[in-house]
């Protein structure tokens, strides 16, 4: 198992919670399991979320304006 703190954090959108937040820790068990991100959501909650349930947030400076 590998735990990695992200610095800087990554702005993400949670498909399950339908809100944005910041991913700040990655938990990787191995190649046989999903990678989990610890995300602090804009509503104040913290969740471990699988990578396939997250999307990058819009970032106009990186020309990512059509995400969600």
Say if 66 falls within a structural domain: no
> Whole-model pTM?
0.82
Reported as a single tens digit per residue, the pLDDT across 3-48 is 999 999 999 999 999 999 999 999 998 877 889 999 999 999 999 9
CA distances from 34 to 14, 56, 58 (A): 16, 17, 24
Instruction: Please list the residues that pair with 2 across neighbouring strands.
Output: 28
Domains held by the chain: number: 1
CB 56 within 8 A of CB 35: no
The verdict on residue 67 lying in a domain is no
**Range of the structural domain that residue 53 is part of:** 2-59
Which CATH number covers residue 49?
2.30.30
């Amino acid at each position: 198992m590998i735990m990695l703190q992200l610095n800087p954090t990554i702005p993400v959108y949670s498909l399950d919670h339908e809100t944005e937040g910041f991913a700040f820790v990655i938990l990787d068990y191995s190649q046989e399991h999903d990678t989990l991100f610890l995300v602090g959501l804009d509503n104040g909650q913290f969740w471990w979320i699988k990578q396939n349930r997250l999307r990058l947030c819009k970032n106009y400076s990186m020309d990512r304006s059509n995400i969600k």
